[in-house]
Amino acid sequence: MTPTLKRKFVLNNAEGLHARPATTLVKIANEFNAKLHLLHGNERVDLKSIMGVLSLGVPQGSEVVIEAVGDDADRALIKIIDFLNQLNLKK
Protein backbone atom coordinates (compact mmCIF):
# COMPACT_ATOMS: atom_id res chain seq x y z
CA MET A 1 0.00 0.00 0.00
CA THR A 2 1.27 3.47 -0.91
CA PRO A 3 1.92 5.69 2.13
CA THR A 4 0.04 8.95 2.63
CA LEU A 5 2.34 11.97 2.51
CA LYS A 6 1.25 14.95 4.61
CA ARG A 7 2.45 18.51 4.77
CA LYS A 8 1.27 21.30 7.08
CA PHE A 9 1.22 24.83 5.76
CA VAL A 10 0.15 28.22 7.15
CA LEU A 11 -1.48 30.65 4.70
CA ASN A 12 -0.08 34.08 5.52
CA ASN A 13 -1.17 35.96 2.42
CA ALA A 14 -3.57 38.86 2.97
CA GLU A 15 -6.75 37.20 1.71
CA GLY A 16 -6.41 33.50 2.52
CA LEU A 17 -7.46 30.94 -0.06
CA HIS A 18 -9.98 32.94 -2.10
CA ALA A 19 -11.30 32.12 -5.60
CA ARG A 20 -8.30 33.01 -7.78
CA PRO A 21 -5.59 31.11 -5.84
CA ALA A 22 -8.02 28.25 -5.15
CA THR A 23 -8.57 27.89 -8.90
CA THR A 24 -4.81 27.76 -9.51
CA LEU A 25 -4.35 25.26 -6.69
CA VAL A 26 -7.02 22.96 -8.13
CA LYS A 27 -5.48 23.30 -11.59
CA ILE A 28 -2.09 22.24 -10.19
CA ALA A 29 -3.64 19.31 -8.31
CA ASN A 30 -5.27 18.07 -11.50
CA GLU A 31 -1.86 17.78 -13.19
CA PHE A 32 -1.15 14.72 -11.04
CA ASN A 33 -2.57 11.22 -10.72
CA ALA A 34 -2.14 11.20 -6.94
CA LYS A 35 -5.19 11.45 -4.70
CA LEU A 36 -4.89 14.87 -3.06
CA HIS A 37 -6.84 16.27 -0.14
CA LEU A 38 -6.87 19.59 1.69
CA LEU A 39 -7.67 19.64 5.40
CA HIS A 40 -8.72 22.70 7.38
CA GLY A 41 -10.08 22.35 10.89
CA ASN A 42 -12.33 19.28 10.90
CA GLU A 43 -13.00 19.42 7.17
CA ARG A 44 -11.30 17.32 4.48
CA VAL A 45 -11.94 17.96 0.77
CA ASP A 46 -10.72 16.71 -2.58
CA LEU A 47 -8.01 19.13 -3.70
CA LYS A 48 -9.04 18.52 -7.31
CA SER A 49 -12.50 20.01 -6.66
CA ILE A 50 -12.89 23.80 -6.82
CA MET A 51 -16.20 23.62 -4.96
CA GLY A 52 -14.61 21.55 -2.21
CA VAL A 53 -11.64 23.89 -1.81
CA LEU A 54 -13.81 27.02 -1.81
CA SER A 55 -16.22 25.44 0.69
CA LEU A 56 -13.44 25.45 3.29
CA GLY A 57 -13.30 29.27 3.34
CA VAL A 58 -9.66 29.26 4.48
CA PRO A 59 -8.83 32.71 5.92
CA GLN A 60 -5.45 34.39 6.40
CA GLY A 61 -3.28 32.82 9.09
CA SER A 62 -4.92 29.40 8.84
CA GLU A 63 -3.06 26.15 9.02
CA VAL A 64 -3.97 23.61 6.36
CA VAL A 65 -2.74 20.09 5.72
CA ILE A 66 -2.18 18.67 2.27
CA GLU A 67 -2.45 14.89 1.93
CA ALA A 68 -1.13 13.04 -1.09
CA VAL A 69 -1.28 9.36 -2.02
CA GLY A 70 0.01 7.82 -5.23
CA ASP A 71 3.00 7.33 -7.48
CA ASP A 72 3.49 11.05 -8.11
CA ALA A 73 2.43 12.24 -4.64
CA ASP A 74 5.89 13.59 -3.81
CA ARG A 75 6.04 15.68 -7.00
CA ALA A 76 2.51 16.92 -6.42
CA LEU A 77 3.34 18.07 -2.88
CA ILE A 78 6.46 19.88 -4.09
CA LYS A 79 4.55 21.79 -6.75
CA ILE A 80 1.62 22.61 -4.42
CA ILE A 81 3.89 23.84 -1.61
CA ASP A 82 5.88 25.90 -4.12
CA PHE A 83 2.66 27.59 -5.24
CA LEU A 84 1.54 28.22 -1.64
CA ASN A 85 4.94 29.71 -0.81
CA GLN A 86 4.60 32.10 -3.76
CA LEU A 87 1.09 32.98 -2.58
CA ASN A 88 2.43 33.80 0.90
CA LEU A 89 4.89 36.26 -0.65
CA LYS A 90 1.93 38.34 -1.90
CA LYS A 91 1.14 40.04 1.41
Residues annotated as catalytic are 18
Q: Which long-range contacts (CB under 8 A, 24 or more apart) does 78-81 make?
A: 79/28, 79/31, 79/32, 80/25, 80/28, 80/29, 80/36, 80/47, 81/7, 81/9
